[in-house]
Structure 1
Amino acid sequence: MTIEKNHVVALQYTLNAIEENGAQTFIEKTDAENPFTFIYGVGMMLPKFEQEIEGLAAGDKKTFTLTPQEGYGEKAENASTQLPAEMFVQSGMPPIGAILPLQDQDGNHLSAVVTEVADDAVTVDLNHPMAGKTLNFDVEVVLTRPATEEELSHGHAHGVDGQSGH
């Protein structure tokens, strides 16, 4: 069975960022025991990522690269803000490099990277952590199957077997 719209896809991958000099920096890796699982074709993934894996079947392997424009966009130099120290009274001040889950005034979720910590504020970079990076994926499809009606109504995969609950 090949990957197509409304199919659950489970894949293992290695993700590296390609530096300007061509060197690769390791980002993350999944494996067959804990594959990355998602519903294909419903807007959950980067469009170019989905285009690259379309039509693959279990056991297929592929290596491909996404430019910053095909991935998370170029890094915006002015995309930073300061968060008041009061926000961290209960959790404690985060370390530099920490990724903070935030929500904007419209309810959109985003991740911010801590770039500076002072007594009165925490400065964060609002760019996606992968913004400006050329991404190299080595993928192997573990499984593809039609999504269940419940998965489609919930908007996410319920594991490789469709039975993993919430």
Structure 2
Amino acid sequence: MTIAKDKVVSVIYELRTELDGKIVEKAVAETPLTFHCGAGQMLEKFETNLMGLSVGSAFDFKLATEEAYGAASEEAVIDLPKNIFEVEGEFDAEVIKVGNVVPMQDNSGRRMNGIVLELGEETIKMDFNHPLAGDDLFFKGEVIEVRDATKEEMDALKAEANGCAPGGCGNGCSC
């Protein structure tokens, strides 16, 4: 079986931001990267480079910055009111400190991570660029599994595409 749209794929890999640079991310056999091909879970060009490969196939490719997370954007660095980081009226200094990655949601409910850059008197400066924005990505690895998605996986994917939470959204829909 080869990698194609709607297959569940598991790979092991090393990711570098320079051809012979330091490893910035690694997936090993005990904890491989597993994804549903064509579902928008991975970078499009990452999947394109894996298409047609089968179990045991090695891969070694580069994604240029524009094929990966794009250039870092100044618009993604913003000041947020300090009071939105309060829990029961108290500022959460354990979580909100320079260098920490903080999971957040935008006004549409989309999840994103922000890096705390600066603590001000009234505002917190956050960077919502992807940590690898501005970098070329060098992947080297191996395909360790390719299979058809189960009915449960397809149902979960459909529910996610409809904006439903895992296990159902409680809105009476069929997710």
TM-score (norm 2): 0.80
- In structure 2, give the amino acid aligned to 1:117: L
Q: Which residue of 2 aligns with 1:68?
A: 65
Per the alignment, residue 154 of structure 1 pairs with 156
Q: Which residue in the other structure is 1:4 paired with?
A: 4
User: 1:138 corresponds to which residue?
Assistant: 140
Residue aligning to 1:121:
123
Shift of 1:23: 5.8
CA offsets, 1:54-107, max 9 Å, x none? 111111111111111101111112321122333333442523222222211122
96-105 or 9-18, which deviates more? 96-105
Deviation of 1:119 after TM superposition, in Å, equals 4.0
Unaligned 5+ segments in structure 2 are 159-165, 168-175
Number of equivalent positions: 155
After superposition, where does 1:7-86 map in structure 2 within 5 Å?
7-18=7-18, 24-86=21-83
Q: Which runs of 5+ in 1 are unaligned?
A: 157-164
Matched letter for residue 50 of structure 1: E
The structure whose residues are more often helix, as a share, is 2
State, as a whole percentage, how many aligned pairs show the same letter.
37
1:2-61 superposed Cα distances (whole Å, 9 cap, x missing partner): 11111111111111112xxx6624211110011111101122111100000111111111
The one of 75, 92, 98 equivalent to 2:100 is 98
Query: Which amino acid in the other structure matches residue 8 of structure 2?
Result: V
So what's the TM-score if we normalise by structure 1?
Answer: 0.84
Q: Which protein shows a greater Rg?
A: 2
Question: Which residue in the other structure is 1:159 paired with?
Answer: none
**Secondary structure of the residue that 1:139 maps to in structure 2?**
strand
For 1:64 and 1:148, how far apart are their aligned partners in 2?
Answer: 29
RMSD across aligned positions (CA): 2.1
For 1:147 and 1:78, locate their aligned partners in 2 and report how far apart those are by CA, in whole Å.
Answer: 38
